[in-house]
Structure formats: C-alpha cells, structure tokens
Structure 1
Amino acid sequence: MDSILVTGNGPLNGEIPIAGAKNACLTLMPATLLSEEPLTLTNAPRLSDIRTMTTLLQSLGAEVSSLQDGKVLAMSSHDLTSHKADYDIVRKMRASILVLGPMLARDGQAVVSLPGGCAIGARPVDLHLTALEALGAEMELKDGYVHAKAPGGLKGGIIEFPFVSVGATENALMAATLAKGTTVIRTAAREPEIVDLADCLRAMGAQIEGDGTSEITIQGVDRLHGATHPVVTDRIELGTYMLAPAICGGEVELLGGRIDLLQAFIEKLDAAGVHVQETPRGLKVAQRNGRVNAVDVVTEPFPGFPTDLQAQMMALMCTANGVSVLEEKIFENRFMHAPELIRMGAQIDVHGGTATVTGVERLKGAPVMATDLRASVSLILAGLAAGGETVVSRVYHLDRGYEHVVSKLSGVGAKIERIKGQ
C-alpha cells in the first residue's frame, strides 16, 4: 500500500492550479441519466471517485468517455440496459446514491444498494427516500437495496427537509426536473455545488429557480436535452492549498480560486493573521509573520465554515499562538485525525463534537495513518510544518479527492514524495 513521505523544509512559494470540484462532478455525472442526449462536462477532476462513478454509470448502460487527459467527460445515456446499482460498486462511494433520483424520474424504476464511503458517521439516506416519496415514489428496503418505483411517473410536490442535506437536495432537484407539475424544496442546501448542478440542468432545459437559497422551485418538463457544462472550482481543494502557505509561511497563488466559494473560511484565515488577496488569476495567500493566531471554528452548512475543511484547519491550529476550539456540527466521528496529530506532538483534547487545540511552537515528524479523505491531507499539511520526516500511510483515501497532490505541493517547494507499496 502506498504512503506519502513529507519533510518539513520551510516556506512555500509559487502557484497551484485548482481542479474542478469532486463533489460537484460526482453530482453532475448522474444527470446524464435524465436525458437520452449527450452531456459533456469540462474541467473535470481526475480522481478515483470519478472513475468509480464512471464504472457505475457504465454498469447501467451509459457511455462515458474520458477525453483531454481526463479533464473532459463525454457521456450518453441514450440506451440504459439496467436500473440496478450494484453493491460492489456503490459500497465504495456514498455519492452513488445520486443515481436513484434520475433513474426514477426517467424510467419510473431504480434498485440502488445502500452506499458506503468514508467512515465519518452514519449519514443515513432517509432524507433522499422521503424526498422522492414526496414526489410519489414507492420505496422498499430489501436485502440492503432501495427498491424504488413510480409506475405513473413522478409528480410535483412539497419537499421540506428537517435539516440541510446536500446530497438529498441534489437527488430531489434532479428527480423534480422530470416530475409532472411544480416541486418546491424547502430547507434546501445552498452550496455552490447545488448552484452548479442547477446551472447544468438549466442548460439541459430544466426550469429551476431559487438555487443558492433555502427554497428551490422546479417546474417539471417532459424531457431534457444534451448540454456542455464546466465543473465549478473545487472549493475544498482550494481551501486545503490555501492552508499550505498559512501553515508553512511563504506566498502561493491558487489559480481559479474565488472568494465567494469560501467566504466564512477566508474570514477565519484573516482573523488568524493570514493574508488573502484576489488576483486576475485567482487568490494569493501569504503568511510572513511566523505563528498564526488561534481562532475558534464551528462547522455549518454553506455559507458557514465547511466540515470538509475542519481537519485541515485543525492542522493549522496545532501550531497557532493560543488555544482554539473546533466544534463539528455536521458529521459525528470526524475527529479521527486528532490522535494522529497528537502523535506528531499536537495538544488536542476531544470531547464529543468539540476539540480543544493548544498550539505548540512546532510539530514533530512521525509515522501516521489516514482515516478518511480530509484527514489524510490534514496530516500532509501538518507534515509540511513539522520537524523531520512524516510518513502518511493509507493514502488511497487521498486519491479519492485530490489529484496530483505530490506534484502540486512539490511545485511550490514542498519536500514531498509518494512511496510505492510492496
């Protein structure tokens, strides 16, 4: 099994290109199931999760071609041959549940395995199912699969979520585009990935209003047509690499970065003493004053501080001046990186959904183990700021969400290499 070797060696300088968003692309790909005409995605990230979704769509009969070194995905679902998403594929990635709504909307039937993915909490699919039931679908859970039917097609309805769910909003939004009549989604997720999906669906002929707010209205249409759509910038990759110069010092320009994607996160960086500046090509991040200041963080749905940047922010706070409190309100079990950071000399006290971090002057390199996708990159960031060598094992998590992390970081002066497993 591969590992990543990181040696702390001072400030970083240069530029890092930011890829298209993994979470957006994984949502946009199932949208091809809504139409018999081709859907082409540009600015696609090159990740193992994208390959998994490709395999899943192909198992349903969709054609998926990877062009321009993987940056363009050309898809066509003119002739679906199956409506069953098998466990062997779905277990690898929670986003697989997003084929449920499109298949049900288009053909009135779908059988989808309950999904897998990172072990960071229960993340049940109940909200996906109740949303589709509000559109007239009949659901049955049997032998680990969701058996869904809508013999007369889906019908518009009111979907009111008890709390914000990005995935359930996405599934409901896609299904509602072909439902008869008007659908209103309340307590809808407001993330940029939701807006990106709505933009793509509108390009395919959908009638959607209110995306980016907590109430989305969809007027169903009879059919959707083909389209070409650019995947939005990955705000989580962007935030991750913004933290690299923050934790190491130096100045790095993030190509394609946008402040509106990460307003709450950038406000915390500013409070910590990290300078963020817009440029014609993206965002420039600089940290020249030694240790940053400790800041408190509470994860919240967009536009709040992203849960997917909590682990990376904790790595920064490990060497901050003062005591910071990080409260995780989105997922349980999302402090599994804390014991690994403690192995590197961090002072972290975890109680339930709260972690108290007392900054130390410097971390020490150590062998550590990645427990999930975002934890894996937080350990790399910590290694950049640590004395000596840090070896991060189980980096297959990393490959799910970050393309070419070694070359991107080494390109700005980091001493990092991938070690092939035996």
Structure 2
Amino acid sequence: MSSPTPGTGPDRPTGAADAQLPTASGPLTGTPEVAPPPMTNRVITEVMRSSAVITILAIVLALVVGGIMMAVTDERVAAASGYFFARPGDTLAAIWQSVSGGYDALFRGAIFNTRVDDFATQIRPLTNTLGFAAPLIAAGLGVALAFRAGLFNIGGRGQILIGAAFAALVTFNLDLPMVIHLPLTLVAGIVGGALWGGLVGLLKARTGAHEVILTIMLNYIAYYLVSWMVRTPSLLQQPGTTQSISRRTPESAQFPELLGPQYPLLDWGFVVVIIATIVVWWVIERSSLGLRLRAVGENPHAARAAGISVERMYIYAMLFAGGLAGLAAMNQVQGQVTTGFTGSIDAGIGFDAITVALLGRSRPWGVFAAGILLGALKAGSFTMQGSEGIPVEIVLVVQALIVLFIAAPPLVRTIFFLPKTEAEKRASGRTKTSSRRAAVKAGA
C-alpha cells in the first residue's frame, strides 16, 4: 500500500501552495483577460490631467464669463432684448457685436493694432503689455519664492513702497554719471525691499509670529511712513511744491527705452526682470539653497530633522521676496513713474503679484508667463474702455475668475468632463464606501 504524496491528500494545507500559484485567467476559466489601455490613451489622459491644460481652460472659462458680463451690461443688447421674441436675431447680433468688439479691442490694445498701417505703430500694444508686465513679474517672483518656502507673503505693497523710498533717500540727491547712478539706484531699491521683507522673516523666525499678520501690518506702516516722507520737505517732498509727491527721478537714474522713444513703456527694466527670472529659477531649481527652501516649504518638521535651519530659510526667503518686490518698485520709479511718486506708487502691484504667483503655480517661468498675461489684460483694458465703453472692472473680474478656477481644478474638470486624477478617484472611492457603510448601519 503506497503512501499518499505529501501535500496531495485530504490533510493538504489549502492556503500555502495556492498562494504561490498565479491567478488563472482566460476564456477557459471564465475570467477574461483585460488588456491594458493603449499608450495613446494613457498619454492623452495624462495630458488632460496636467496643470497646463487646467490653466488654459481656466483662462478660457474666465473669458467666457467675461463675455457674458459684457453682453449683460451692453446697452445695445438690453435694447434688442426688449423685442427678443419678435426678432431674436437682433439680440443675438447685438450680443456678438458686444463680445467680439470687446475682445477685439482687448487684442488691439494688448497685442497688435490691426487698424493702423504702420508696423511700428501696430506692435506698440505689445510693447505696452511687456512694460506693464515687468513690475508684475518681479513682484510675482517674490511671492512665488515665498510660497515655495511655505510662506504666504502678502506684503508686496509695503516692500515696494519702502524700496522706492529707500532708493529716493539714498540716490536721488546724487549727481553721478548714468553708468554709476542707474545701477546704484536699482541696487538701493532692491536692498530697501529686501530689508523690509527680511524683517518679516526675522520676526517669524525669532518669535513665531505669522507672516500674514506681519505683512498686513507692515503694509500699513509702510504706506503711512512713505506718505509722511513725501510731504516732508527735508525728506522726500519735491522742492518748490506743497503737494505730497517725491522728488523726480534723476535722468541719469532712469532706465533708457529699450526700442526707442516711440515705445515709452518698454525700457531696460524688462531686461532686468528677465535676468531676475533666470536667477530665481536657478536658485529655486538648481542650487542647494533652493533645495533647502523647497524642503522647508514641503515639510518644515522633516527639514529640521534633516539638519536644515528652518528659521534661517524663513529669513532668506523673505529677504529674496522683498528684494524682488524692490525690483518691481524700481521698474516703477526708474521707468514708468519718473516725475515723482506718492504713497500709491505700488498701483496695486503688490496684491496683483499674488494673482501672478498663483496663476504661474509658483514656478519662475510660469510666473513670467502669468505676468505677461496680466500685463496684456491691463494694457487692453484701456482700449476696451475707450473704444467700446466696457468698464475696466470687467477685466478685473476676469482676473479674479482665472485665479478662482485655477484654485479649483476639480471644478474645471467637471465643467469640461476631464478625467479625474488618481487622488481624486481614491477620494471619491472613500466617500462612496463611507456612504454605503453609513447606509448599512442606518438600515440595521
């Protein structure tokens, strides 16, 4: 009588051997093989999930909403809608004229003027866009760099004001050749903004105070301090006047026009901003300091455990952020506003920089592109108002909507029926599982 083969009798363990065998599949087992999706499908899915697509669609969606607002506020549309059911074509034609006219004016004011024959005049809107974009890019880089270090810098306004005032105090009274006076003024403005921003980093590092509260309060301090300085003759007030305005920027400290006097808004400050973008990109993405800043921004506790001085990184980040805001101030004082400045020299750039940083997703070249976009909206808004009577506030609403949609990617994916990310699928699965469990408990 032969003994049974080990592992084949009734006492054979059922889990050990089966666990080592692969799961059978195929037409004979009743479990069909599921082929992986084609490579093309996977590539398209990843592209549709990308942040670039979300950004583009957010801009498109904001422009659509802006077009609706143009049509709603247009008097021609309101008049034609009064007899819509009698002649609906008139209302649709009025809507088309309103929206197309508005965005045509935006294009003519920001990119290319198609209504003139001279090419030099046709491209002037593009140079205006670049001129408006320069301070937005510089200040946006400062906000973005702070974001990457885990800091929410909303003190761009104060840093711009102090940068302009510091440069005026230090260099406006000097009589120097341009080759010395211009870079000296530029450096003075950057140093002034850096000192004001570094103060925030120092207070946060030493006391633990929140940077949002610090920057808000320092914005007020900077505004009232500069407002007092520009109405005090012994400090910044322009000689021979009682108005609250600073001295003029010396001609030897002004940025020369980049393409000549026919393009007054585009000067060498834009080239300086391009250089600053390259430097910030290298610092954040390629340097060891940038690695430490990004590590602190991702997880300050893990960064501290790895031997990184979190407090020192906070100070460095705010120094750089303030210096870049000071560069934005110099684009104003040495470029566009050379007849003297007041406490409103920031012109909203400090807060628009937050929009630029968010739109650029805190990446240097993304911020550069976002600054040009907002510069185009700003340049084109004047033509929209002048030729079509469209309020400038509609452009501001479009800017706000762009940021809103970019901050809510699931909303954009839902509107355009884009595929969800894996994280969103997992979150949706957990929500459904929790709902089923709650329903089972309620039924029990």
The two structures have a TM-score, normalised by structure 1, of 0.22
| Larger relative helix fraction | 2
The two structures have a TM-score, normalised by structure 2, of 0.21
Structure of higher RCO (CA pairs closer than 8 Å, 6+ residues apart):
2
Larger Rg: 2
